[in-house]
Amino acid sequence: MEANTPRFYFVFLSLLLSSRFLVEGFSGEEEEEEKDIKITDFPHGFVFGVSTSAYQIEGAYLEGGKSLNNWDVFSRIQGNIKHGDNGYISVDDYHRYLEDTEIVHSLGVKAYRLSISWSRVLPEGRFGQVNPAGVMFYSNVIDKLLLKGIEPFLTIHHHDLPQELEDRYGAWLSPLMQEDFVHFAEICFKNFGDRVKYWMTINEPNLFANLAYMDGKYPPGRCSLPFGNCSVGNSDIEPLTVMHNMLLAHAKAAKLYRDHFQAIRLPKQGGSIGIVVSATMFEPLRDDPIDQEAANRASLDPLLFGDYPPEMRHYLGSNLPCFSPEETKYIEGSIDFIAVNHYTTLYAKDCLHSNCTAGADHAIKGYAYITGERDGVFIGEPTGMPECYVVPRGMENIVDYLKKRYHNMPMFVTENGYASLELQDAQMKNLLHDSKRIEFHKAYLAFLARAIRKGADVRGYFVWTLMDDFEWISGYRMRLGMYYVHPQTLNRIPKLSAQWYEGFLSSNGLNNKEATNASLLKDENAIVSEPVNETAEI
Ligand code: BGC
């Protein structure tokens, strides 16, 4: 989740879903006030987990046969990442995965979402060999998880890709990337498919396309005015090209999985496959139908399955690529579940009939101005993440929206998390006593439970994230982890939230009020006595 997240959030889903699911009953009744959430408020079999991604935790950027990837190269350019941070060492999960699996296990979660580093497994993409050391690494991680009774949820592509593909043909700007992705996916299915049952092809294509090609904030840093001041790019068109290629790449990989892997593993081991969407909820800024329209456009509201929604075609015209009839056929219905990353709710204001600036009056933004503020009042308490506010009701609303729009397709909330405010972080003590994070999760979970009670088919919830990590352009000082990682020793130290999650999962009723400060004192002393350099120096 980043500032100015993209419009047209759900266009992917409209294309991917078929109408084979029927809408289930929805009472619409108002329920009682939220109460302290308990694990028993969730249905039997509901899965709780934690999420991470390869580049954000692994480090070992040139070890074990890994090649340079887009983030390695992007971080070298001064000013791209806050404080000059990078992921070269990160929190060193590559060398500490055994310890990290133990930590995951100690939380009591039943699932762990991780991603595969493309440049570790295929250093040159399709143009080189599979790297056996890379495959072995993930195989070991998966084995270790399973040994501990933890289900791996695998994201194939989470923002990082071999630089080779960028250099050769411009990566996601080119349709050639579809074939590269399918090749990568096939290697993953072949090597890990015997043990992995939950696959997610691409993490947040909607967010990535806009951050990288509209705002120019993510590699390859392409954009045009007024969205950003990049040396090259076209913010009005390129995000659409990228999204189109990602969508087709997903669909082709899903078809491959279904034709050659999923089926032969049935009936006992048949896995399922989905795609991850960045799902911000929008509310109208003003009590005005045109702002409600803007909120709908921002979350775009697809009615047709198998092609882009007509509204998008209307607003974007020939900038929006077309699908061939064959492509339409295999895109339609190409997911078994929706993986939902939800952090916040924002206001949307109409820019079709009202004056807006800063790019909000462009078609690529859905003619919607997005803000977290109304008449000087924030929509929720601000967090350490730009444009991200604490709005727990948004969890119920987004799930409800997806339920209705997509015929109650099975969903997993694959990311939900709280970034501590930097001010708080100035003191080590506050880093560990992350009671606001606990409050955040409890409140969001309470609204998720309500949505489920009202009939939404949500099957799991993953906290973002296990431990403080490389938060992309925000570097290491934006912290969402339940474990603090000491910048020099890289020791993992549980925050209060880790204790809360463990207590919540084991139903011992431990909550943030009961988790004692004393239990943290030992760890606190251990780190306070060391110099506090918040940035991992490379
Ligand atoms: C991304 C994560 C990221 C998180 C918090 C999500 O959009 O999938 O990789 O760390 O937001 O910024």
* Gap between the terminal Cα atoms of the chain: 26
Q: What is the DSSP letter of 33?
A: P
In degrees, to the nearest 5, what angle opens at C-alpha 199 toward C-alphas 114 and 12?
Answer: 105
The 3-state DSSP class for residue 306 equals: coil
Q: How many Å apart are CA 348 and CA 287, to the nearest integer?
A: 11
Q: Where are the beta strands (DSSP E) in 164-208?
A: 198-203
- Say yes or no: CB of residue 208 within 6 Å of ligand 1: no
In this prediction the pTM is 0.91
Q: Whose CA is nearest to atom 2 of ligand 1?
A: 1
Q: How many Å apart are CA 416 and CA 522, to the nearest integer?
A: 29
Longest dimension (CA), the chain: 65
- Say yes or no: CB of residue 207 within 6 Å of ligand 1: yes
- Say yes or no: CB of residue 53 within 6 Å of ligand 1: yes
CA of 1 to the centre of ligand 1 (A): 5
Respond yes or no: is residue 514 known to be catalytic: no
Nearest to 409 by CA among 287, 513, 274, 316: 274
Instruction: Return the exposure string of 500-534: e unless at least 16 CB atoms fall within 10 Å of the residue's CB, then b.
Output: bbbbbeeeeebbbeebeeeebeebbeebeeeeeeb
CA of 260 to the centre of ligand 1 (A): 31
- Say yes or no: CB of residue 52 within 6 Å of ligand 1: no
Give residues with Cβ within 8 angstroms of 463, minimum separation 6. 49, 50, 51, 416, 417, 441, 482, 501
What DSSP element (H or E) covers 400? helix 393-405
Would you write out the chain's pLDDT as a tens digit for each of its 538 residues?
543 333 455 555 666 664 333 323 223 334 444 578 999 999 999 999 999 999 999 999 999 999 999 999 999 999 999 999 999 999 999 999 999 999 999 999 999 999 999 999 999 999 999 999 999 999 999 999 999 999 999 999 999 999 999 999 999 999 999 999 999 999 999 999 999 999 999 999 989 999 999 999 999 999 999 999 999 999 999 999 999 999 999 999 999 999 999 876 555 458 999 999 999 999 999 999 999 988 887 765 333 345 687 778 888 899 989 989 998 888 888 999 999 999 999 999 999 999 998 799 998 998 999 999 999 999 999 999 999 999 999 999 999 999 998 889 999 999 999 999 875 555 677 789 999 999 999 999 999 999 999 999 999 999 999 999 999 999 999 999 999 999 999 999 999 999 999 999 997 544 444 444 445 545 555 444 333 334 333 2
Respond yes or no: is residue 283 known to be catalytic: no
Sheet with strand 368-371: strands edge to edge: 281-284, 345-350, 368-371
Q: Whose CA is nearest to atom 11 of ligand 1?
A: 1
Substitution candidate for ligand 1 out of 51, 70, 341 with most atoms within 8 A of CB = 341
